[in-house]
Structure 1
């Protein structure tokens, strides 16, 4: 956690936050390689190839609700006798002339029927004949064969990430295996002589490593394979050895701490010795020392490396705003667009100097419309506020926050990907 460099100072040459995000997305390249997996194991995976519809969907004309199927031309003031009962799963039947069919949601429409009347609009007389209340048009309450998809049509494109709805869609077509992009392997390490593992005894001056726990959970959530290299000491020889291992075994390296410009910040010089830096420093608070680099000959030919600040909230913000879209593109999908919309501030606060600030806020809905309130202390080391926040109020550089005024808000839920 050494040398975060997140103090309130103005530094020249910093990249604008959204420019840096655009550069991250442009620099990312999808990994190669794919594998076939069972649908039951495909959650959060990315399709490597298009999936075509295996069936017409629906497979037959069927009823959209519980009711009665009939020929409109045979509707009569005398009512219609109920000649058939058609449950879901039944075969396709023929509707006898002059009669109607009791039918249930999803059941095949009898041949000859051209409308379904909802059961709520039906009365049965003492002879059991069906009478309709109100008007009914041809095709009413019928789901037509193939109205959702036709066999051979594109069902899901390559690059789609398989969430629960997508998996259900594939299952509805009888698909039990899919070809997906291989998992992205990410080497993860923290730097800092003061860091120790949770669960071990602590002496004054030592700090439990929360960043690897944070990023390990985020990488798992994003569907990555994590290569945990542990805590690396603030020594160039140790960093050189760890980065060499990561370069050879991973598709991406993520490290935290030691990326600023202090005397004990050795990450940048080691990266430059083993590869290079694409950019370093973003005009955001927290998270200024963020860097994109590489191990090897170039960013495209080598192993990309993302260096996050040591303070945990700065690391979290750097992941959400900058690292996550890079990972998404590396996984073979599109980077999710950043969701922002105006929300009224329920507080006043002096504005940041020279950088956009991302204030951790909760939304108060007591008045019926959302009002942003500070989630707690805003220090980049304060995880308590980050753990409670609903989102970020994005405050432009040198702009004060005034209670009752609207500012851009980024919901955190969009990063739970």
Structure 2
């Protein structure tokens, strides 16, 4: 199934929200569905909605340890109520006779005839074993009613839901042992650049280690993708053409890092135009301006390509605010809008011309209101600040940061889901 619909190349730089909207407008679920045992379903994406098979709770039951009784029997009980049965969880109770009560435990079914559970902390047992209630008892108190969470046929989880631990527990609570999920998205990872060397190899002058491959592979695995690592590609059009052709034939989505700018050694855009279409290039953000999006034409349909900048922080930021949502949509998920709130800046900084700047910041909670402070160096290759950052301070283009002013803050915790 194709993941990319018709689009036209837009000249100039796109606003971040516009770029994100265009990406998501083209995304369609790619993989087929398959059955998956519940024990292996963590992180998988539901391909079909799930409805309740059972009422939960399946019967009226006690919300706490205490005594089940009729409120009417407390009108004048000078001698207390005798305990006429004991009801642990998992047993079937007998009907409650008038004038008596039942010792009951959390989760145990309410005996027919009882309409209240009084917590044990509010009950006193006398020498004859009779129960004396202290304080008021109300009909319906501390009783979980049958079906108050769900009845048979109640929608539980929609298609597109990523299965986390609570979702798996919800399904297990219904006795479900297998669900229909989308197959794992296959993502080909291509690193470009003659200067790149894999970690563990000796560095020659002018070379640097390929941190992007490690980072993006980890980020894709966090999204439960199957990563097809196609290694480092030499800075030639022929080498890139061959690798992208392989990627198109093996993957659902292709991600390239580096080679997306306009230099003589940047071949991603011309090769993409040769093998498919470049749909847009350039986003008005710093870091991340060279981000590119297109599609590779293939015999079995088009394959989308995300071109991320080569600098590691720029690659990270563009993945978080653009690429991740697109990949989630291709998985069949429903990506959430970017979550942001306003915080005060604890520093001043000169304006960035023409582009929104995403500054890596930490939140200082020492004051009454959280204060954003720079996490460290803000260069697009400086990973240390990205490791420390709580999020990004979103500063509009041509706008200086003034200490004490409010700015939009984008927490990075939202990208961990």
What is the alpha-carbon distance in structure 2 between the residues aligned to residue 337 and residue 165 of structure 1? 22
Q: Provide the secondary structure at the position in 1 that maps to 2:307.
A: strand
Aligned to 2:8: none
Structure 2 unaligned spans of 5+ = 1-10
Q: Number of paired residues?
A: 405
Q: Could you tell me how far 1:369 is from its partner in structure 2?
A: 2.6
What is the alpha-carbon distance in structure 1 between the residues aligned to residue 94 and residue 401 of structure 2? 69
Q: Provide the secondary structure at the position in 2 that maps to 1:214.
A: helix
Q: Does 1:115 align with 2:107?
A: no
Matches within 5 A, 1:338-377: 338-377=338-377
Instruction: Output one character per residue of 1:189-221: Cα deviation in whole Å (capped at 9) or x when no partner.
Output: 100001011111112211100001110000000
Q: Provide the secondary structure at the position in 1 that maps to 2:103.
A: strand
What is the alpha-carbon distance in structure 1 between the residues aligned to residue 93 and residue 410 of structure 2? 52
C-alpha contact 2:352 2:399 (8 A) present in aligned 1: yes
Q: Could you tell me how far 1:256 is from its partner in structure 2?
A: 0.2
Q: Could you tell me how far 1:386 is from its partner in structure 2?
A: 0.2
What is the alpha-carbon distance in structure 2 between the residues aligned to residue 253 and residue 32 of structure 1? 14
Q: Could you tell me how far 1:93 is from its partner in structure 2?
A: 2.8
Q: Does 1:40 align with 2:39?
A: yes
What is the alpha-carbon distance in structure 1 between the residues aligned to residue 57 and residue 203 of structure 2? 63
> What's the TM-score once normalised by structure 1's chain length?
0.95
Q: Could you tell me how far 1:82 is from its partner in structure 2?
A: 1.3
Q: Provide the secondary structure at the position in 2 that maps to 1:294.
A: strand
Structure 1 unaligned spans of 5+ = 1-11
C-alpha contact 2:351 2:397 (8 A) present in aligned 1: yes
Larger mean CA deviation between 123-132 and 262-271 belongs to 123-132
Distance 1:32 1:213, change over 3 A: closer
Q: Does 1:171 align with 2:172?
A: yes
Q: Provide the secondary structure at the position in 1 that maps to 2:216.
A: helix
What is the alpha-carbon distance in structure 1 between the residues aligned to residue 231 and residue 161 of structure 2? 32
Matches within 5 A, 1:103-252: 103-252=104-253
C-alpha contact 2:348 2:403 (8 A) present in aligned 1: yes
> What's the TM-score once normalised by structure 2's chain length?
0.95
Query: Could you say what the CA RMSD is over the residues aligned between the two structures, in angstroms?
Result: 1.4
Aligned to 1:3: none
Q: Could you tell me how far 1:151 is from its partner in structure 2?
A: 1.3
What is the alpha-carbon distance in structure 1 between the residues aligned to residue 273 and residue 15 of structure 2? 23
Instruction: Output one character per residue of 1:319-370: Cα deviation in whole Å (capped at 9) or x when no partner.
Output: 0000111111111121111101001111111121100000000111112431
Instruction: Output one character per residue of 1:38-94: Cα deviation in whole Å (capped at 9) or x when no partner.
Output: 101111111111111111100110001111100111112321111111111222332
Aligned to 1:71: 70
C-alpha contact 2:31 2:331 (8 A) present in aligned 1: no
Q: Could you tell me how far 1:297 is from its partner in structure 2?
A: 6.8
Instruction: Output one character per residue of 1:259-293: Cα deviation in whole Å (capped at 9) or x when no partner.
Output: 10001111111111000111000000000000001
